[in-house]
Structure 1
Amino acid sequence: MLPPYVSRELVAERLLLIFPEGTPNRVYCTRELAASTVFAMLYIGAVERSSTRLGPVHVYRMTDLQAQDESEEGRLSYRSNLRKKSFEIPGKRWYADNTREPIRDETLREGLVAVGAVMEDREVPTTSGKPRYALKSDLAALFNPALQGSVLESAILKWQEEHLNKGALARVSLMRLGAVDKEGVMVHFPNGETRTLSYGPSSMISRAVVEVFAKSFLERPAVLWLSESSNKVAMQDLRMASTIGLDIEAQKNLPDLILVDLGPTDPLIVFVEVVATDGAVTARRQDALFELTDKGGFKRSQVAFVTAYADRESAGFKKTVTGLAWGSFAWFMSEPDKIFMLRDGVGRLSGLSQLLAD
């Protein structure tokens, strides 16, 4: 039997709920092409426990007129006759033939298959052009139009808990942090003090840097400086920075955070730029901040630079990654135990083995 008919618009709405912010390769699972692919699967009945399978052709040859035909006869006819040269599909195609690759490689293999939403039939030879994809049965059930409200929410949550791996669930949870508190973002400093920042994505990342990053990557962390867009300078930070020889001007070369690691014999100064949309540690910013530490008498080996983002798939990371300074780090709130390093060269050509051994 065919699944209940559902429109592509409803599919698109539910994909955004099923795959929230933080889901790996979320864009491949939620964009229009993904909605078209899932719609086509449901339309022809390409669901796990059936014998029907979907190929990219079922997606790119679909039209609005065909998609509006809710009848079982129309759906079965599209499924059975699509490959016949004599079969006429009313209306204008959704996509051109060359959309085959993004449907197969991005939407399916890197998106829906990777997160466990779609199965790939292994009995179909890899060299075969036969359809091979089907929607997992429990995911297909989430698109039943009869599911609404709290019942739908519970079903989606249950699916996420059972099918998204621990890493993905952790990313989703971290991306949701603070979503209920619109009054402000309270940051707990390592010394027990607190400060409330104005609500916003940059403040959320700043809090994660102080409460999560600092504890994970520094031995004895302390916050030397914390600024935000609505209050660039806190006087206690200005005094603290001055006591160790950092002359920071409020409107010039101002970092978002300065952390210090008091664990090593020579304290490590960590400049952190928080990126929600822009403002990464570029080579120019790195040089400007080195001027501050040079003036304060710090060796450059005592200085580190970190750009902090919400997630690897965030718009801010994609916009700024090409400008990140060599010798700096990138850290992602959604993957708190990992760090991205832009290594500035190695001693010899076989240095890759050295890097792997470090």
Structure 2
Amino acid sequence: MRPIITAQEATKRLLVLFPRTAFDAVMSSPLAGAAVAALIYVDAVADDPDNLFWARPSMVTWMSEVMREQARDEDRLAWRQEAAKSAKALSGLLQSWGVPDAPGYADNSRETLRDETFRKWREHGALRERLDLPKTSGAGRWSMEPHFADLFNPSLSESDVEVAAAAWRETHLSPAAKLRVRFALEGEQANHSVTVILPGGAGTRTLEVGRASLILKGVIEDWAPARLENPYVVSVSEPGDKLFTADAKLLAHLGVTIYVSSLLPDALIADVTDTAVDFWFVEAVNTDGEINEARKRDFLAWAEQQSIDPARCRFLTAFSSRNDPAARKRLKDLAEGSYAYFADEPGHELAWYAIPSRSEPGLA
């Protein structure tokens, strides 16, 4: 049987494997770490397809670190045998060992494991589900894939885990998931200035170090060329009164005058077409600063001062990820008629707008 690992160490490794800015927290929570430790303890690993043991979520909730101290193979086999029967049978075994039968988690934690953690692990190829059982069956149906279990060998050093986790993600994650991880890790390790390639062959711009700059880079390099017909970056604002503006000729053509003291978004992007010019006010949010109703009103007031038609103003709040705490905290505050973009999912966009009444003309 594979060497056992503590729930705490398993959780630590899950956080390396599934960064929380890229993946749902249920994939690397303490409960998820307990699940890894329990599945390995009972040897629910698909090393031998012809002799598989399928675990059930209750084996995770019933397991405790004190129980896991019974580390001999025969003890582990006895534990899983009794746990496969019932909680009462397991309690009898623990009493014979003189081990407290206090479970590690409440019984209702099984639902989180079954419906969230195990499901998401399975989607990423980490877990195997037995499909020949009715959904109502209480029999075990979960087993770890060997390549996933390999990441939790206690002999691996911290650097070994990082290398193995990166290799595992490269082999088993979808292209979209790999992109989310890459962005998350770049944000965590960002210690150099960020170079942004402006659309339309307008050159490059160097932004200060930080996650917000990486988010803005995604907006300018990925979102704008894909979303807009003919984008021009009019201005980029940074802390410390740093302000980049487009060339004077373009500003004069757009009828816009920009000063450092102006109320400006992180980026102002113009979509210049043959028939109209739309102005996109963009905020890159690392913690706060979303375009809420008050911010939207301020931008519209500035636009009117520039003789920009409010009907040609558009609003985009950009986050690093849907999993990012800033997004979970601030999405609810977005202004009506605005959009949200996530740098780790560049092919998508969210819109928040009022549904027109069916009584309006053309909707009957």
TM-score above 0.5, yes or no: yes
The whole-number CA distance in structure 1 between the counterparts of 2:187 and 2:230 is: 26
Partner of 1:53: 54
Give the structure 1 partner of residue 72 of structure 2. 71
Q: Aligned to 2:108, what secondary structure does the other structure show?
A: helix
Are the counterparts in 2 of residues 241 and 247 from structure 1 also a CA contact under 8 Å?
Answer: no
Which moved further from structure 2: 69-78 or 219-228? 69-78
Change in Cα spacing, 1:77 to 1:9, as seen in structure 2 (3 Å) is: same
Give the root-mean-square deviation of aligned CA atoms: 2.8
Q: 2:292 aligns with which of 270, 282, 285?
A: 282
1:306 paired residue number: 316
Which stretch shifts more, 282-291 or 69-78?
69-78
Query: Which whole-Å deviations, capped at 9, do the CAs of 1:183-214 have from their partners, x for residues lacking one?
Result: 31122223433332221111111122122222
Give deviations 1:334-355, integer Å, cap 9, x for gaps: 011111111322352899x9xx
**More divergent stretch after superposition (316-325 vs 260-269):** 260-269
Alignment match, 1:87: 90
Matched, 1:268 2:278: yes
Determine the C-alpha separation between the residues in 2 that align with 1:106 and 1:55: 14
- Compute the displacement of 1:20 (Å): 3.5
Cα distance between partner residues in 1 of 2:213 and 2:106: 43
Pairs within 5 Å for 1:1-358: 2-20=1-19, 23-25=22-24, 27-48=25-46, 49=49, 50-82=51-83, 83-88=86-91, 89=94, 90-91=99-100, 92-109=102-119, 111-148=120-157, 152-177=161-186, 182-190=191-199, 191-229=201-239, 231-234=240-243, 236=245, 243=252, 244-246=254-256, 253-346=263-356, 348=358
Paired residues of 2:228 and 2:271 also in contact (CA < 8 A): yes
Q: 2: CA distance between counterparts of 1:64 and 1:278? A: 40
CA contact (8 A) 1:222 1:259 kept: yes
The more displaced of 138-147 and 58-67 is 138-147
SS at match of 1:259: strand
Distance change in 2, residues 1:184/1:84 (3 Å): closer
CA distance in 1, matches of 2:14, 2:116: 16
Check the 8 A contact 1:19/1:30 in 2, yes or no. yes
User: 1:350–1:161: structure 2 CA closer, same or farther, 3 Å change rule?
Assistant: farther
Q: What is the TM-score with the length of structure 1 in the denominator?
A: 0.87
Instruction: Specify every segment of 5 or more residues in structure 2 that has no aligned partner in the other structure, as ranges.
Output: none
Q: 1:238 Cα shift?
A: 11
CA distance in 1, matches of 2:226, 2:358: 31
Q: Give the length in aligned residue pairs.
A: 348
1:122 deviates by 0.4
Q: Write the distance in 2 (CA, Å) between the matches of 1:21 and 1:257.
A: 27
- Residues 232 and 270 of structure 2 are in contact (CA less than 8 Å); yes or no, is this contact kept in structure 1? yes
Identity of counterpart residues, as a percentage? 30
Q: 1:350, 1:11 → 2: CA distance?
A: 57
Asked if 1 retains the 8 angstrom alpha-carbon contact of 2:22 and 2:324, the reply is no
The range that moved more, 36-45 or 250-259, is 250-259
Change (3 A) 1:96 1:179: closer
Contact 2:187 2:211 in 1 (8 A): no
| Off by >6 Å, runs of 4+ in structure 1 | 237-242
